[in-house]
Structure 1
Amino acid sequence: MIYEHGNYRISDDRGSIQIDQVESLLRSSYWAGERSLETINVSIANSVCFSLFCGGTQVGFARVVTDFASLAYIADLIIHPDHRALGIGKWMFGVVVNDPRWCSKFQFLVTDDAHGLYEKFGFSASSKLMSTKI
């Protein structure tokens, strides 16, 4: 699917991903800064991915890990710093969570920031969510 908003376009076509841009974005994050390119490629291959473009350059990324039956895990949502504070991240998150393939499923994410943004979409903190670092 393709979504447009002003000069921005979101595509879920895995073939349109600019891996060098995604790697750079993720390396700048607190959660994936040390993730190898191999791991990034495997995660892309096993997820539904959303690429955000401004002109011909990828400036944002998000992915969803799902079984298409009961749950969707939203991961790696990131916007290039030059494109933040323009409402683009909110628009992209809305596109991701409202995707008809999982909008009626249990959706979750794990984050240390942007709680106010996610709360606007009905997400809330839960003490039941557990994670482990290997």
Structure 2
Amino acid sequence: MPPFTRAQGDYAVSTDPARLDFDAIHAYLTRSYWSPGISRELVERAAANSLCFGLYRGDEQVGYARVVTDQATFAYLCDVYVLEAHRGQGLSKWMMQSIQSHPGLQHLRRFMLATRDAHGLYAGFGFAPLAHPERLMEIVVPDAHLRAPAR
């Protein structure tokens, strides 16, 4: 499938893996609340096995989102950010609209995410608290990214 791209003013959202700036992605993720200190190698490995959406202003990467998916029945949205200097312009909403319009993410049975502080953003796109939390289980290893072996 060719890269999915959307443009709006000076900005573009693209799934072209050749455009991903791993220096920029790693710089943000390593200071995020969900993966502080994550290695660049682990960021690149996660991206290689996911559907990644870069948010760009010209050639500069200013945002990112990663979707772990089979592109048929299930997707998990993670690692979503827009750099602070580019916030307040509706870019996170536009990036979410772009993600939800991707052809490989249509007709999914389940699309999940976890967030500490962006419930309002995601609720606007149909995400809601778990309807049946008793059906889901998880293994949580908060600092696993700090112990992941290099490959």
Return the TM-score normalized by structure 1. Answer: 0.93
CA change 1:117–1:130 in 2 (3 A) is farther
**Paired position in structure 1 for 2:38:** 35
Q: What CA distance in whole angstroms lies between the structure 1 residues aligned with 2:106 and 2:11?
A: 23
Residues 17 and 58, structure 1, Cα contact 8 Å, conserved in 2 = yes
Residues 25 and 79, structure 1, Cα contact 8 Å, conserved in 2 = no
Query: Alpha-carbon deviation of 1:69?
Result: 2.0
**Paired position in structure 2 for 1:122:** 126
Query: Alpha-carbon deviation of 1:108?
Result: 0.7
Query: Alpha-carbon deviation of 1:28?
Result: 2.5
**Paired position in structure 1 for 2:29:** 26
**After TM superposition, where is structure 1 displaced by more than 4 Å over at least 4 residues in a row?**
none
**Paired position in structure 1 for 2:148:** none
Return the TM-score normalized by structure 2. Answer: 0.83
**Paired position in structure 1 for 2:95:** 92
Give 1:98's aligned amino acid: S
1:84-111 CA-partner distances (Å, limit 9, x unpaired):
1110011001111221211210211011
Query: Is 1:15 matched with 2:18?
Result: yes
Give 2:60's aligned amino acid: T
Q: What CA distance in whole angstroms lies between the structure 1 residues aligned with 2:35 and 2:84?
A: 16
Instruction: Tell me the C-alpha RMSD between the 2 structures.
Output: 1.3
Matches within 5 A, 1:20-99: 20-99=23-102
Larger radius of gyration: 2
Give 1:110's aligned amino acid: A
Q: What CA distance in whole angstroms lies between the structure 2 residues aligned with 1:97 and 1:112?
A: 21
Q: What CA distance in whole angstroms lies between the structure 2 residues aligned with 1:29 and 1:121?
A: 23
Secondary structure at the counterpart of residue 104 of structure 2: coil
1:37-70 CA-partner distances (Å, limit 9, x unpaired):
1110110110011111112100001111111221
Give 1:123's aligned amino acid: F
Residues 72 and 107, structure 2, Cα contact 8 Å, conserved in 1 = no
Query: Alpha-carbon deviation of 1:36?
Result: 1.0
Q: What CA distance in whole angstroms lies between the structure 1 residues aligned with 2:87 and 2:137?
A: 29
